[in-house]
Chain A
Amino acid sequence: MRLRRLAAYVRPSLGRTPVRYGEGVTTDLRTRLGAPTLRAPLPVVDPLVSLFAEGGLVRGRTVACTGDAALSTALALSAAATRAGSWLAVVDVPNLGIAAAIEAGVAVERIVLAQPPHASREWVTTVAALVEGFDVLIVAPPASLSANDARRLQTRIMARQSVLIVVELPALTSSASSNVFSSDLDVRADTVAWSGIEQGGSHITQRTVQVRVEGRRCASPRERTITLPCPTMSSAQSPCSTPPRVS
């Protein structure tokens, strides 16, 4: 009897390492919250790698592309991922030039274009359905999109570990689109030089774009000047490489 009581007294301390609260609590919280297993970031093409501290697009994040080369840059960002087998959904960019996507190196067999209704709720429902199957989404949000719905979508993106690229289309083509997404990364791409074009002669052969990455998930802004289309981007033949005949 005495022995048993003693054993009961002793046992709890047997084999127990001293608890260091900070550590134990965090691990416990992390498991309880069901932290998503970390998946490797989506790859990006060579010239853009140095712009991302993680060496690629971290899954679950929202990237806002602005500047006059926003769409080209968005395509360039998603190119390597599609080549690696990810699917790309382009939402609400009905006039997308597929040739430009191919030039950027996007695997064209894995592009799907969607035109959801513009009402905020339906738009979000549609895009949320797409998130289930697509690793990369390039979206041009309609002006009607509410901040609330945008947040719901971002939550879905995080849960599903996809990457949402919000592009700003040139103002002259669309009614002002409001960016209600709170982006993790802001990619600003501005063309600094167009080469080839003159007063009447030749044609645009290349554009030099300055890409600046900053935002709340970026410790320090990174900047790089690249040329579009990147020479290393497409191994595939461009569908339009013959210069037109100039009379």
Chain B
Amino acid sequence: MLDTPTRVVVVQFPHWSSFAFALGRSARSAFEPIVRAVVAHAPLVEVTAPGVIVFATRGPSRYVGGDEPLAALVHSAVGDAVRATAGDTAGATIGSAFDAQRSHAAFGVGIADGRLAAGIASQHALRASEPVVVPANESSRWLATAPVRSLVDCVEVIGAVGAGVPGADDIASYRDVVSLLERLGLYRFGDVAALDESHLVARFGAFGRDLSRLSRGLDRHPPLVGEPPPDRVCLLQFDGPVESRDTVVNAVEELASQLVDHLGTQGVAMVRLHVVIESDHGERSERMWYRSEGFSARAVIESLRWQLDAWILHDAPTSGVVMVRLSPEQLIVNAGRQSALWGGERDGDRHAQRAVRRVADMNGADSVTVPAWRGDRDPARMFQFVRSDAVDLERRTAGDAVDLATGEWRGALPSPAPSLVFDSTDDAPKVRVLDSLGRAVAIDARHAMSADPACVCIDDDTYDVVAWAGPWPVEERWWDARRARRAVRLQLLVRQRHGERSDASMTDAVTSRAMVAVLERQTWRLAAIYA
């Protein structure tokens, strides 16, 4: 088999999750219209993460008559889909809302040989806001001048640093690798490619080989030499149409682990998996999935779940599922994944996942959540809570939970952070902030307080204000009449008024409590407690 990279198209939205958040939708479900827009031109696409689509040019490019027309076609189709998505939610104020979100909805379409080159091409396309096509067989030369720094932006396209590096944390490890390369004086991929592969392997382990291959413009995984193992396709046919999503997933779970085990005994792992789901009425959903480190049974299930959700939500199949087919498309030599002595995957991680899955089965998936960074200046909205089955706990890293690269939000609460936070939709206790004469404290248009706060009533208890900070104005989306938000925050240090409680709690009455109250639409509410 020839060791030539596959020519691929990469469509990349670097800020997709922020965009989806601005629309008030989950990153995956908001991405579905975009995927469908691309599927109209290329049937078999790979969605590696919300915001990234990869597919091979070979068929589609010949159909539309070349790479440039294909790139232009995909670019315009995706652009239309983005506008439609933004328009759906923004409604009448689409113009201004879209302008504000444009920076988040920016995307790039790149075509090149190999995933890394195409990923970097899409980064260029993002800046130029038009598709970038690297001519065939030019990619390695083109890549040689690209800075190694661009590795960090292509994590989703080329996959994580991988199982070879213990304790690998996707983005952080790439940053480490890049910073090390730069300190070694290797600024461009050309410099790295000039090095002997063995030196890179000696320094970076298994990832060194990948790095060397990537820098030379090859695909990350060398093609599998030798006979592919027989009967690789797994077909699951149900006796009758199955209506329940969970039944399908449970049935495939067994099959997936058999498939992975079977491949494991042959010493290979699949990095690309083709999943086809068919309903009784002949409706089909097919999609390609990619995992740079090879699929585990859990990863197969996660992909299937995603595909099923998207299919049910957007195509609304008219009948139950009768068939599921899993066919591994690209196999690599299974380097093995072993429990690391320091860092990396451990037994504890597996036990925790199992417990989470059990609890999700018992009480519904909504009852178990994990935090994910969303970014906001409102303490209650800084993190969102994602259903545990929507994330792959196995591959979870600090980067998924907190995106420190997003930077700090101006106007967020200063450190220390409150340990209890309340959204306006939460049933937080009612609060009244009163001045010394017992009138509610008001804040005028210039953010001046009508009087100093003297006491706070929470439900039926009265607290004396010891100290306060603020008022801190928050003005958000003032350009959008429908979603504009105007609020004022006040940090308060309160002490329970003496003599109102029985003697037993007198000791408690001495301690003071800090909280944040927010005045929004002429009503005070409790936003946070430092518990």
Q: How far is the CA of A87 from the CA of B354 in the complex (A)?
A: 12
Of the listed residues A71, A85, A93, the one surrounded by the most CB atoms of chain B closer than 10 A to its CB is A85
CA distance in complex: A70, B531 (Å): 6
Q: Mark B350-381 against chain A: 1 for CB-CB distance below 8 A, else 0.
A: 01111110110011000111110100010110
Alpha-carbon gap, A110 to B422, bound state (A): 22
Residues of A within 8 A of B491 (CB): 197, 203-204
Taking a contact as CB atoms under 8 Å apart, the answer to whether A129 and B362 are in contact is yes
Contact residues, B379-410 vs A (CB, 8 A)? 379-380, 382-383, 385, 388, 396-398, 400-402, 404, 408-410
Are the C-beta atoms of B363 and A99 separated by less than 8 Å?
A: no
Partner of B383 from the list A99, A114, A247 (CB cut-off 8 Å) is: A99
Give the complex CA separation of A228 and B356 in angstroms: 31
Task: Tell me if B69 is interfacial: C-beta within 8 Å of chain A.
Answer: no
Q: How far is the CA of A85 from the CA of B472 in the complex (A)?
A: 39
Do B397 and A109 touch across chains, with their CB atoms under 8 A apart?
A: yes
Q: B186 on the interface (CB 8 Å rule)?
A: no
Please pick, from B421, B493, B529, the residue contacting A170 in the complex, using a CB distance under 8 A.
B529
| CB-based contact A204/B514 at 8 Å | yes
Give a binary string over A149-183; 1 marks a CB under 8 Å from any B CB, 0 the rest. 00000000000000000000110110000000000
User: Cβ of B531 and Cβ of A113 under 8 Å apart?
Assistant: no
**Which single member of B368, B472, B511 contacts A190 (CB below 8 Å)?**
B511
Knowing A96-B419, A99-B383 touch, does A207 contact B511 (C-beta < 8 A)? Answer: no
A13 contacts across to B, CB distance below 8 A: none
Q: Is the CB–CB distance between B418 and A100 below 8 Å? A: yes
B417 touches A95 (CB 8 A): no
The contact of A126 among B359, B469, B513, B530, by CB within 8 Å, is B359
CA distance A200 to B441 in the complex (A): 14
Known: A72-B530, A241-B415. A134 touches B355 (CB 8 A): yes
CA distance A100 to B508 in the complex (A): 23
Contact assessment for A95 and B469 in the assembled complex, using a CB-CB cutoff below 8 Å: no
Interface residues, chain A, with chain B CB atoms under 8 Å away: 67-72, 75, 85-87, 89, 93-103, 107-117, 122, 125-126, 129-135, 169-170, 172-173, 190-191, 194, 196-207, 228-229, 236-247
Besides A94-B426, A100-B419, 5 other A-B contacts (C-beta < 8 A): A69-B531, A71-B420, A96-B419, A200-B470, A239-B402
A-B contact pairs, 29 of them (CB 8 A): A70-B531, A95-B380, A96-B421, A97-B418, A97-B419, A97-B421, A99-B382, A100-B416, A112-B368, A115-B367, A116-B367, A126-B359, A130-B359, A133-B354, A133-B355, A170-B529, A172-B529, A196-B469, A197-B469, A198-B467, A199-B468, A204-B414, A204-B416, A236-B398, A241-B408, A242-B412, A243-B414, A244-B412, A247-B472
* A-B pairs, 4 with minimum CB distance: A133-B355, A99-B417, A87-B352, A100-B419
